[in-house]
A and B are shown apart, each in its own frame.
Chain A
Amino acid sequence: MAQFEGFVADPTLMAPAARPPARDRTWLSAYFGTPGNAAITILCLGTIFGLAKLAIGWLFVDAIFSGTPAECKASSGACWPFLSAKLRYIFFGFYPFDEQWRPLTAMLLFLGACGVSMMPRTWGRALAAVWIVVILPTLYILMAGGIFGLTPVPTTQWGGLPLSFMLSFVGLACALPLGIALALARASSLPAIRVLGVGFIEIVRGVPLISILFMATVMLPLFMPDGITIDKLLRAQVAIILFAAAYIAEIVRGGLQAVPKGQIEAGHSLGLHYWQIMRKIVLPQALKKVIPPLVGLFIGFFQDTTLVTIVGLLDFLDTVRTAMRDPQWQGIAVLEGYVFAAVVYFFFSALMGAYSRFLEQYFRTTHD
């Protein structure tokens, strides 16, 4: 015990133990520090090497870069001519070939507008107004035509990537107000309203999206009076909106719960009524908290729109599948289409994921 009393006075006693072991100082130790660690590193590198070899072999070494379907059939690698021959169909589906500059322009305009709107400093009423008054009508006119000398194109001919973007973006944009209303209903002090809100949210969240899509496409026509038919695309869109609203409601509920009760009481003591308190005090604070998880949810819905291919809409995944079933390429391009679609989905999802992380960081540093 005696030497511990000299702990402070005599630093030499502790000096050797305080120095980290020599092997911890080299960067190599992170990879090969212990035998077990070295084994893990070698195993991982082997896996990466194997996958890379497989990918490079398929994508480049054994691949056919230009040629006929017959040449592709003979080779074991990727068939690039399939993509170049089918690219326009994959992107735009059955949209009239000569008019395909329209969905292309619409898509570029949409992506550009999204890019600008992703910057928090542009947010505000003006941005919302620009979207509602300028961008969305322009997109619709470009896609549907009918005025300004553009040939009308019915929604049955819409397809490909623009359709996927539309289903997910319009879905979320319309679901947002509905979801907020549902969240408020669920938090309401009126029992009947609360029960209706809880019932809707829990039922929709308890069943798979595909069942709601089935309901919209198979069951809904039975509920419609004679002579009224609703466009199939619109029905699927409504199904996605209702589905998204229930999930948004749950996220917004989390935001509402995070607003301190004193805020509501302060509003009451100022003499504000319910809607004023919600609109001016509670919702602005709650929504700011839930923006990053909402972006995360959006990634999920962007991917979930692929399910409309099961009920027969030509979304991006569906155009890829039908392109691969083309008699000319059948059985030749088995993977090319799926891999290409996976890359496209990965690109947009990963981009939004990065954006979600950026927003989280942004709100953390500037507002808390």
Chain B
Amino acid sequence: MSLFYDARIRAFLYQTIAIGAVVFVAWMMFSTASANLAKQDIATGFGFLARQAGFVITETAIAYEPTDTFGRAILVGIANTVKVSALAVFFGTILGVLVGIGRLSHNPVLSRLMLAYVEALRNVPLLLYLLLWYSLIISVFPPVKQAIEMLPGVFLSNSGLVMPAMRWASGLEALVIALVVGTVAAVVVTRVLTRRRIATGKEMPVATIAAFAILLPLTLTLLSADISVSLDVPELGRFRLTGGYHVRPEFVALLIGLTLSASANVAEIVRAGIQAVSKGQWEAATALGLPRSRTLKLVILPQALRIIVPPLTNTYLTVFKNSSLAIAIGYPDLVMVSNTIMNQTGQAIEAIAIFMAVYLGLSILISLVMNWYNARVALRER
């Protein structure tokens, strides 16, 4: 009996029981599942990834044909998920910062309007908004047959926006490389000049030099490289539009829904972050003669960023996970592609395991990137 009262032995006992229980449940589930699958004649394992998918994906961020493999289809799903969440995070952050600052405006009309905006978005489920935007797009715009031609070659209808696309035969790679080189050069030049200005007080036309650094490689490439590009202009047929670049209503509805919901959350975080900066900072900046807008930009926001970044990470992760609601309106994201694969192969366990693993992996990746950024903006204490 005295053994049972030994803290170490009890600790060992508890942990053994906990691990044993988990292992036992896992083993039981595994054995019943394999028995059930064998009985229902469902294949197991990830061999299906190499087989031909055979289904159409309406929106492909990377090249895909129905003759490609299931593995490729999943990659398309991942690319679509990443595309829509990255765009929603980008636009949502800009919109959210503006709304969050507007919430703190001294103008009562503006601050109340922004409050109404945030409350309207936060108190209604995102899924409802997605369905609402989608049915609005479908019902407000005319069917394809009567598509509105806004500009020559740009058609707006309830199957989305179709516009001319550039088809690159050659030279795209060279241009992309030139753009990357130019951007890196511009960033480096800006940094060096800023450091010099702080050290010596000498002003230089930084913006002009940076613009020059970006444009120079591009111009040189345009002049020297072999570039051939053709314009693919959509044509209005009897029942559908052919050619061109197609922005589908599913994508637009999902992007609008995710962007707005992200912006409302970002706005609340930005507002709380700005309010957390002590009032003395405002007063000190005012005493130095800075106007309100420059105070905000130079004094308040850099300090607020430290408070803002950790909750912002959570919001970005939420946007990324919420993009899975795409399945409700038919945007082919990772979950929807996996669902199709699940229905075609019957391999539910593998399909769900794959998309959960991808979400988990990407969530961790986003956390790491944001933690790195957080470490950069955090207060550096000497």
B94 within 8 Å of A by Cβ? no
Cβ–Cβ contact B124 & A349, under 8 A: yes
B106 within 8 Å of A by Cβ? yes
Residues 306-340 of A at the B interface (beta carbon under 8 Å): 306-307, 309-310, 317, 321, 331, 334-335, 338-339
For A, the interface residue count at a CB cutoff of 8 angstroms equals 53
Contact partner, B348, options A190, A207, A219, A225, Cβ 8 Å: A219
Residues 127-147 of B at the A interface (beta carbon under 8 Å): 127-129, 131-132, 135-136, 139
Return chain A residues, CB-CB under 8 Å to B109.
31, 40-41, 44-45, 48
Cβ–Cβ contact B327 & A210, under 8 A: yes
Cβ–Cβ contact A211 & B14, under 8 A: no
Give the dominant DSSP class at B's interface.
Answer: helix
Select the residue from B15, B109, B136, B324 with max chain A CB neighbours within 10 A.
Answer: B109
With both beta carbons as reference points, the residue of chain A lying nearest to B11 in the complex is identified as A190
A157 within 8 Å of B by Cβ? no
With both beta carbons as reference points, the residue of chain B lying nearest to A41 in the complex is identified as B109
With both beta carbons as reference points, the residue of chain A lying nearest to B134 in the complex is identified as A338
Give the shortest distance, in Å, between B107 (CB) and chain A (any CB): 5
A297 within 8 Å of B by Cβ? no
A–B Cβ pairs within 8 angstroms, 10 of them: A30-B106, A41-B107, A41-B110, A48-B113, A192-B18, A207-B360, A223-B32, A306-B125, A309-B328, A317-B131
Residues 190-209 of A at the B interface (beta carbon under 8 Å): 190-193, 196, 203, 205-209
Contact partner, A334, options B22, B106, B126, B135, Cβ 8 Å: B135
Cβ–Cβ contact B33 & A303, under 8 A: no
Select the residue from A196, A304, A338 with max chain B CB neighbours within 10 A.
Answer: A338
Cα distance A215–B126 when bound, in Å? 22
Residues 323-368 of A at the B interface (beta carbon under 8 Å): 331, 334-335, 338-339, 341-342, 345-346, 349-350, 353
Cβ–Cβ contact A40 & B110, under 8 A: yes
Q: A193-B14, A349-B123 are in contact. List 10 more A-B contacts (CB 8 A).
A: A31-B109, A207-B363, A218-B352, A225-B32, A303-B125, A306-B125, A317-B128, A334-B136, A346-B123, A350-B119
A47 within 8 Å of B by Cβ? yes
Given A196-B18, A334-B135, A342-B132, decide whether A210 and B123 contact each other with a Cβ distance below 8 A. no
Select the residue from A196, A205, A222, A341 with max chain B CB neighbours within 10 A.
Answer: A222
For B, the interface residue count at a CB cutoff of 8 angstroms equals 52
Return chain B residues, CB-CB under 8 Å to A224.
32, 36
B52 within 8 Å of A by Cβ? no
Cβ–Cβ contact B124 & A211, under 8 A: no
Cα distance A30–B37 when bound, in Å? 70
Cβ–Cβ contact B324 & A208, under 8 A: yes
Contact partner, A350, options B18, B32, B36, B123, Cβ 8 Å: B123
Cβ–Cβ contact A214 & B352, under 8 A: yes
With both beta carbons as reference points, the residue of chain B lying nearest to A310 in the complex is identified as B328
Binding site for B on A (CB under 8 A): 30-31, 37, 40-41, 44-45, 47-48, 189-193, 196, 203, 205-211, 214-215, 218-219, 222-226, 299, 303-304, 306-307, 309-310, 317, 321, 331, 334-335, 338-339, 341-342, 345-346, 349-350, 353
Return chain A residues, CB-CB under 8 Å to B87.
none
Return chain B residues, CB-CB under 8 Å to A189.
11
Given A190-B11, A222-B37, decide whether A207 and B349 contact each other with a Cβ distance below 8 A. no
Give the shortest distance, in Å, between A212 (CB) and chain B (any CB): 9
Return chain A residues, CB-CB under 8 Å to B120.
346
Return chain B residues, CB-CB under 8 Å to A335.
132, 135-136, 139
Cα distance A210–B328 when bound, in Å? 11
B246 within 8 Å of A by Cβ? no
Given A206-B363, A206-B364, decide whether A223 and B352 contact each other with a Cβ distance below 8 A. no
Cβ–Cβ contact A44 & B125, under 8 A: no
Select the residue from A41, A192, A321 with max chain B CB neighbours within 10 A.
Answer: A192
With both beta carbons as reference points, the residue of chain A lying nearest to B328 in the complex is identified as A310
Cα distance A304–B321 when bound, in Å? 12
Select the residue from A45, A189, A191, A214 with max chain B CB neighbours within 10 A.
Answer: A214
